Chains A and B, each alone.
Chain A
Amino acid sequence: MFLQRQVPLAICFVVGVVFVFQDFVPHHDSEQLLTVFTDWGIIITGFASLLGVGSLIQVHWLHIKRQNAGWGYSVVTYVAMVGTLAAGIASGGKAAPDAQTGVMPAFGWVYNYTMVPLQGTMFAILAFFVASVAFRSFRARSVDSVLLLVAAVILLVGNVPLGEAAWRWVMPEGVPGIADVGDWVMNTLNLAVRRAILIGVALGIVATSLKFILGIERGYLGGGD
């Protein structure tokens, strides 16, 4: 029980307290300690990422083993993972073309012609769904929804040349362009809210961090012993 519960709480407390005070010690050794621990954190996180990979391999292995519906797609996932890893190892982890010869390494081909189109299109198709949801849900029923709708329309219309041209056609001389209005909304009204949210989030993070260090919040220990 001591090793399972008290030791991790003690590690968290000691390391947490050390690094709260480290920020207030402007000494070379203090800075060095932060650098060393940052590198240690990166190394441990590197090992932690293997947990996710292990879990993915396990899930897809079960699909293949039980021959669930669509188990062939799990094979595709395995092949893509191993293929990309092999290309990465063969290229020494470099995706950019060689500076002298201009030859693209295998990892670069995989990244630029597989991952980029897949990722780009995956997020791009969200544009259709966002537009669909907006069309169905944007109704000017109250002051709140009118404000939301107007701000969204200003940003959408103000970012396309056709919107600016239409605005110029409708509005009298001397009225600022819709792009300028959009900039003012983003840089003034939106900035105010973002600042308030940043302050609120920071207060929450500080409070939660204190709870972690003092052992009040123990969620990271997981369930059971």
Chain B
Amino acid sequence: MSAEVVWTWVAAGLTLSMFSFLYRDNPFFKLGEHLYVGVTVGYMLTVTWFEYLHPKLWLPLVVGTETGHDWSLLVPAFFGLLVLTRFVPSLAWLSRWSFALLVGFGAGVSIPRYISSNILSQVEGTVVPLWAGHWGAAVTTGVILVGVISTLVYFFFSVEHRGAIRVVSRVGVYFLMVSFGASFGATVMGRNALLFGRFYDLVDFAGARYYHATLVLLAVMVVSLAVWARWAGRGGGSEAPQA
């Protein structure tokens, strides 16, 4: 049996374990859930070391490159170690220096960038000549202009929404509702695409090439869940199945 077949059985088992939550919270789901957390943390630690800390800190500072050791990296190393003082309650305040550096850097970089890309660029894209040669484009441009202004007016709470402001803000609410509906539809379709992806994999894993992994594991899981439900229903489990 090749490594691929063994790992396919693992993937099929984990996929079915997660789907078993549709029945109810059960040991298979809990196992998959905790495995997911553990694997994700292990993955994150590996990526943090091999993608960031090793090439950006360890190699240039400790090992050294053709140009020698980059001693300036002692500064981020120092601030990085200060973050870890959070584990020592009496020294935890030292981590504030590191967070202050990160927050100050993030805030300083954000101000010009957000003004440029999220305010000026968006206004520039909205305030364009209405007539660009044909009616379709003119209507679209007008609708976008009305939508942007009315939505902004709806979120402007410094004046009371009465009279003309109220009318404009109501138009903004209509635009918001359409946008929420569209976003909902797009989200559902995205989730469905993921769902079909998992189903395709399960169908693939059910083939003879993988010794019918999906079918075998599904049968084992159904029988196990039936036994577990009966046992837990008698008060044997730490958590009784819900009615």
A residues in contact (CB < 8 Å) with B: 3-4, 7-9, 11-20, 22-24, 34, 36-37, 39-54, 56, 69-70, 73-74, 76-85, 87-89, 92-93, 104, 107, 109-128, 130-131, 134, 143-145, 147-156, 159, 182, 184-186, 188-203, 205-206, 208-210, 212-213, 220-222, 225
B185 x A152 contact (CB < 8 A): yes
Query: What is the count of residue pairs linking A and B with beta-carbon distances less than 8 angstroms?
Result: 398
B105 x A37 contact (CB < 8 A): yes
A212 x B22 contact (CB < 8 A): no
**Complex interface: chain B residues within 8 A of A150 (CB):** 178, 181
Q: Does residue B227 face the partner (Cβ distance < 8 Å to A)?
A: no
In residues 170-185 of chain B, which contact A (Cβ within 8 Å)?
172-185
Say whether, besides A13-B104, A145-B177, A115 and B31 are in contact (CB < 8 Å).
no
Chain A residue, CB-CB nearest to B8: A113
A43 x B76 contact (CB < 8 A): yes
Residue from B42, B83, B147 having most chain A Cβ neighbours under 10 A: B42
Residue from B54, B105, B186 having most chain A Cβ neighbours under 10 A: B105
A43 x B77 contact (CB < 8 A): yes
A-B contact pairs, 10 of them (CB 8 A): A14-B104, A73-B31, A149-B181, A151-B180, A189-B178, A193-B176, A196-B155, A199-B122, A209-B111, A225-B93
In the bound complex, CA of A52 to CA of B12 (Å): 30
Q: How far is the CB of A90 from chain B (nearest CB, A)?
A: 10
Residue from B38, B41, B105, B123 having most chain A Cβ neighbours under 10 A: B38
In the bound complex, CA of A91 to CA of B57 (Å): 20
Chain B residue, CB-CB nearest to A184: B140
B residues in contact (CB < 8 Å) with A: 3, 7-8, 10-12, 14-15, 18-19, 21-22, 30-54, 56-57, 72-73, 75-77, 79-81, 83-84, 86-87, 92-93, 96-115, 117-119, 122-123, 125-126, 140, 143-149, 151-152, 155, 172-189, 191-192, 194-195, 197-198, 201, 238-239
A15 x B105 contact (CB < 8 A): yes
Say whether, besides A83-B42, A118-B35, A88 and B104 are in contact (CB < 8 Å).
no
Chain B residue, CB-CB nearest to A201: B118
Q: Which of B34, B109, B189 makes the CB contact (< 8 A) with A159?
A: B189
Chain A residue, CB-CB nearest to B10: A113
- The 5 A-B pairs of least Cβ separation, nearest first, read A192-B147, A84-B42, A155-B185, A93-B50, A80-B38
**Complex interface: chain A residues within 8 A of B123 (CB):** 199
Chain B residue, CB-CB nearest to A3: B93
Residue from A74, A195, A196 having most chain B Cβ neighbours under 10 A: A196
Q: Which of B103, B118, B194 makes the CB contact (< 8 A) with A127?
A: B194
Chain B residue, CB-CB nearest to A115: B39
A144 x B80 contact (CB < 8 A): no
Residue from A4, A43, A69 having most chain B Cβ neighbours under 10 A: A43
**Complex interface: chain B residues within 8 A of A225 (CB):** 93
Q: How far is the CB of B232 from chain A (nearest CB, A)?
A: 13
A151 x B185 contact (CB < 8 A): yes
